[in-house]
A and B are shown apart, each in its own frame.
Chain A
Amino acid sequence: MNKAFKYTIFLFLVLSTTHIYGQEQADWLENTMFQSGKINVVVAVVAILIIILFVYLFTIDRKLKKIEEENN
């Protein structure tokens, strides 16, 4: 469970720093977000959804690997 905890802390940190990085390149990034009826916000949301699911898939994979190694 420690690993899951570490990942969540990592995620929190990543999320909390995005806007600090964002400020430097804020202009072009924000402008694209507001263009075409803000459709890129939807793109970002779907991307985040898929990224988090894949990160979780990856952690499950590692856990399963550990179980497999213990069984050998």
Chain B
Amino acid sequence: MTHYWWKILSAILVVLAVVVGLKTPLSPGIPSTSPDRLNNGVTSVKITGYNTHFTEARESVSIWIENGDSRYCPYEVNVVSDTEIRATFSITGQIQEAFFDLYVANAIDGTLYLPSAFLQDGLEVVSDPNKTASCEISPQKGDESFNFPNQPILNETIRNLLYHVPSWFAMIFIMLISLIRSIQYLSGGNLVKDMGASAAAEVGLIFAFIGLATGSIWARFTWGAWWVNDPRLNGAAVAVLIYLAYFVLKSSVNDDAKAARLGAVYNIFAFVMMLVFVMVLPRMTDSLHPGVGGNPAFSQYDLDDNMRLVFYPAVLGWIGVSYWMYDIRERMSKLTFKKMALNE
């Protein structure tokens, strides 16, 4: 029973990450406005909130938009429901930037922010406007409770971080196991080690497919396409192809010992290439993924503290589960090997 403890632990961590990841409420936010343009003159807009408490905090609701150095307040605000506000702005003359950032504050939700909420329509955009507008604002601090950040465009899909990213962590971990087994085979010549290496590569590929499939769906509804030409996506796809080639190579050689030796050498090459394509190259260029283009991932700007609290156990849990899957596959390979040895 003693060697089951890490399996039970990783199962508990995964279940916990799924339950907490789905049950934790999203913090209040403003997903959209309509229309998303501000005319030269008077414009009435509908501001849609998510998980907001506009009617409950009706007295403290304040709205403003910012454009460059200028700040505009609506001259009429009408709270329709908990998630809907109608506001009327009057903007004329020159402005500094084409987009307006929207701020909505109230005592319960705090200050909510939607960058580039409105596009200007018919106004004059100049780098140095002849006047700047200003008005009184009242930023608020909302209730602090355990919730996930509400990011524009991402919205609820920020939870996917807990299912999509750990599968890549598990994949890299299991490929590392595969590399170790291959090196052990090359130094000792024990065919069981090579079987372990291909078992690990197989489990790693499963997690790569999970990562690709979940990422593809996530991309469709946030970036707008099933596949985008992002360095990280293409790198991951190439890494998967490299490992598929490992299996093709192994199955194309008839002599078992030769196939094992070729496969083990190729596997070392494959791991290095996988690291280059998944970890190194995407960081050297700009990407849609957070944490790329210079700064390492999981900096304080990319990952919220509450998300971290669930994300790290999820990563540990999935690494444990992937090792468990590999463990079962390797024991099966050992059985096959025993049978082969008996027959000879």
Chain A interface residues (CB < 8 Å from chain B): 1-2, 4-5, 8, 11, 15, 18-19, 33-34, 36-39, 41-42, 44-46, 48-49, 52-53, 56, 60, 63-64, 67, 70-71
Q: Which residue of A lies closest to B213 (CB)?
A: A48
In terms of DSSP, what is the predominant structure of the interface of chain A? helix
The answer to whether B247 touches A67, judged by C-beta atoms less than 8 angstroms apart, is no
The answer to whether A5 touches B244, judged by C-beta atoms less than 8 angstroms apart, is yes
Contact of B214 among A4, A33, A38, A48 (CB under 8 A): A48
The answer to whether B18 touches A46, judged by C-beta atoms less than 8 angstroms apart, is yes
The answer to whether A45 touches B214, judged by C-beta atoms less than 8 angstroms apart, is yes
The answer to whether A38 touches B156, judged by C-beta atoms less than 8 angstroms apart, is yes
The answer to whether B328 touches A60, judged by C-beta atoms less than 8 angstroms apart, is yes
Size category of the binding interface on chain B: 35 or more
The answer to whether B247 touches A1, judged by C-beta atoms less than 8 angstroms apart, is yes
5 more A-B residue pairs beyond the given contacts A41-B157, A52-B209, with a C-beta to C-beta distance below 8 A: A11-B209, A36-B156, A37-B26, A45-B157, A67-B332
The answer to whether A56 touches B206, judged by C-beta atoms less than 8 angstroms apart, is yes
Nearest-CB distance from B83 to chain A (Å)? 11
Nearest-CB distance from A15 to chain B (Å)? 6
Chain B interface residues (CB < 8 Å from chain A): 18, 22, 26, 31, 50, 154-157, 159-160, 163-164, 167, 198, 202, 205-206, 209-210, 212-214, 216-218, 220-222, 226, 244, 247-248, 250-251, 325, 328-329, 332, 335-336, 339
The answer to whether B160 touches A45, judged by C-beta atoms less than 8 angstroms apart, is yes
Q: Which residue of A lies closest to B244 (CB)?
A: A8
The answer to whether B251 touches A71, judged by C-beta atoms less than 8 angstroms apart, is no
Nearest-CB distance from A27 to chain B (Å)? 14
The answer to whether B157 touches A42, judged by C-beta atoms less than 8 angstroms apart, is yes
Instruction: Give A4 to B248 CA distance when docked, in angstroms.
Output: 11
Contact of B210 among A4, A18, A48, A64 (CB under 8 A): A48
Also in contact, A49 and B157, with CB within 8 A (given A1-B247, A41-B218): no
| Chain B residues in 8 Å Cβ range of A56 | 206, 325
Nearest-CB distance from B344 to chain A (Å)? 14
Q: Which residue of A lies closest to B167 (CB)?
A: A49
The answer to whether A38 touches B157, judged by C-beta atoms less than 8 angstroms apart, is yes
Also in contact, A67 and B217, with CB within 8 A (given A52-B206, A52-B209): no
15 A-B residue pairs with Cβ-Cβ distance under 8 Å, sorted by A, are A1-B198, A1-B251, A2-B251, A4-B202, A4-B205, A5-B247, A15-B216, A18-B226, A36-B156, A37-B50, A41-B217, A41-B218, A42-B22, A48-B217, A56-B325
Instruction: Give A56 to B247 CA distance when docked, in angstroms.
Output: 16
Instruction: Give A67 to B339 CA distance when docked, in angstroms.
Output: 9
